[in-house]
Amino acid sequence: MNTFPQDSRVPNPLDIFPSTNPLCSQSVGSNSLDSTRPTPPTPPTVTVTHPGEAGNASAEWEAFVQRSDVTCGFWCDPLVATRTVAAKELVLVTVRDESAPRAMLPFRLADTPVALSVGLLRLGAVRTRMAKLLDGAFAASAGYARDRLLAAAVSQLRAEKTCDLVMADNWPLPGNSRLPPGTVPRHRQTTYLIDMPDDFEAYLGRLSSNTRQTLRRKTRRLGREAGCAIRARCYRDPDEMPELHEQLRHVWQRSWHGRLNRQPPPAPEFLRDMAAHGWVRSYILFAGERPIAAVQGYQYKGTFMDEAPAFDDKWKPHSPGLVLNYLVLQDLFATDPPETVDFGFGYNQYKETLGTRPDPRAQPWIPLTPRGRLTLAALQCCDAIFQCGKRTLGRTGAIRTLKSKKRSS
C-alpha cells in the first residue's frame, strides 16, 4: 500500500473530495510548538489489486457500491464487472481514507492490439499493455472530484509500473483540465440524456412541435410499410432471457454491427444473471412476428442505459431504430420510470432528436511509459491525417456529392 505521492505532476490528493473535505481534520496536536496550527491531514492511500485478485475484494467492493453516494455506470458493480471481464484481467483501484474505502474504479488490464488506421484504411496495430476503465465507471463517497479520482488511480498505476497506457471510455468532458498532464481526450462526441419529467406528455412538451410530428409520422409510416401491426415488447424476467438473446442475435446479424462483428449480444447466462437482479430492461420491435429492431437496455440505480441499439438494415429507410426508441420511452414513463435515460457514448441523430440535455464526452488516453507515449503519438498522427483528408474532401465538395448519391440510390 503506497501513499498517493504529492508532486508537481499529479493533482494534490487532498482535493479528491473537496466539498465534504473529511480528510482535512482540524484537530490540534497538544505537543505542537504552535497550538493554533492544525495538524497536517492524513493523505488518502491508493491500492491496486493484482490481476486475478479483484475477486478476493468482491465482498468489500459490493458493500461499498451498495452504500456509496455516487455510482457512475452499470459496470462499477462487481457482479457486472466480474462477469464481463476475465478474472486474470480485472484490476480494482481503491482510494482509502484511514483504511475505509472512499472510491473504487474497476479496470480491464490486458495486452491490447491498438489499431492504427486512417478512416477505414487499417495500417497495422501496436500491442500495448493497457488499463481500460470499464465504461468510465466508478463508485465514490459524497463530494468526490471525478477527474482527481482518475488522476489518483493513474498515479498509482504509474508507480507500480502496471501498464503503458490508461484509457477511460465514456468520460464526461467538463472539468477535464484536472486530468493528469499528458492526457489526450480522443473521440470527443456529444451524447444526450433525458432527465425524466413526471409524465410522457410533459416530456413531449420539451420537444419541438416539428419533432413530435416527425415521431408520430414515422411510427405510422413504418406500420404502413410493414403491412401489419408493429409493437415493442419489453424483456425483464429471467425466464425470458433465452428468447431475448435469440431475438437480439437475429437483429444483430442483419445490422451493420453484425457485418462488422461489433457489439454482439451478451451470452444468455449473463442476461439471466442480470435479470435475476432486476437490471435487464431490453426491447424488441416486431413487425407482425418479425423482429426488426432491438435495444439492449439495462436499468440500474435510477438510470436506464440504452446499450447497443441495432436494426435490420432492410428496414433502414423507415427509421425502425428511432420508432423503437420512441415506443421505449412511452413504456419507460408508463412502468417503473427511471430518473434518467442515458443513450450512451457517441453521437447519433436519434439521440439529439429524443434527448433533452447534451452531455459532451470523450476517451481520455493517458500514457505512462515511453511505449505508451509512442503509441499515443502514432494514434494522434493517424487522427490528424484523417481530419486533414476530411477537410480537403469537404472543400472540394466530394463528401457532399457522395452523400447525395447515397440518398438517391
Per-residue confidence in pLDDT tens, the chain, 409 aa: 333 333 334 444 445 555 444 333 333 333 444 445 555 556 778 989 888 787 778 888 989 998 888 888 888 899 898 888 888 899 999 998 878 899 999 999 999 899 888 887 888 899 999 999 988 889 998 887 888 888 889 999 999 999 999 999 888 876 545 677 788 888 888 899 999 998 999 999 999 999 999 999 999 999 999 888 899 999 999 999 999 999 999 999 999 999 888 889 999 999 999 999 999 999 999 999 999 999 999 999 999 999 889 999 999 999 999 999 999 999 999 999 999 999 988 888 999 999 999 999 888 999 999 999 999 999 999 989 988 888 887 777 766 666 565 545 4
Contact 291, 251 (CB under 8 A): yes
Q: What angle do CA 235, 239, 240 make, to 5 degrees?
A: 30
For the domain made up of 197-338, the CATH class stated in words is: alpha beta
Give the helix ranges, DSSP H, for 31-125. Answer: 58-67, 78-84
- CATH 3.40.630.30 domain locations along the chain: 197-338
Q: Please state the separation of Cα 231 from the chain's center in Å.
A: 29
Distance CA 275, CA 245 (A): 12
2-185+364-369 is classed CATH 3.40.630: yes
Closest CA to 184 of 377, 348, 351, 397: 377
Distance CA 361, CA 394 (A): 25
Sign, CA dihedral 348-352-356-358, equals positive
Quick one: 87 exposed, middle or buried, by C-beta within 10 A (0-12, 13-18, 19+)?
exposed
Task: Name the helix (H) or strand (E) containing 163.
Answer: none
Distance CA 267, CA 227 (A): 33
Contact 165, 110 (CB under 8 A): no
Q: What angle do CA 313, 316, 320 make, to 5 degrees?
A: 105
Closest CA to 129 of 360, 334, 375, 388: 375
User: Which pLDDT tens digit goes with each residue over 270-325?
Assistant: 999 999 999 999 999 999 999 999 999 999 999 999 988 999 999 999 999 999 99
238, amino acid identity = P
Q: For the stretch 247-286, what's the b/e string if a residue is b when 16 or more beta carbons lie within 10 angstroms of its beta carbon? A: bbbbbbebbebbeeeeeebbebebbbbbbeeebbbbbbbb
In the structure grid, which three cell numbers stand for residue 143, read together?
Answer: 463530494
Sign, CA dihedral 229-235-240-246, equals positive
Please indicate, yes or no, whether the overall pTM of this predicted structure exceeds 0.85: no
Give whole-number Cα distances, 166 to 120, 136, 183, 270, in Å: 25, 11, 9, 27
Task: Name the helix (H) or strand (E) containing 301.
Answer: none
Which letter does DSSP use for residue 264 in this model? P
Position of cell 457532399? 400
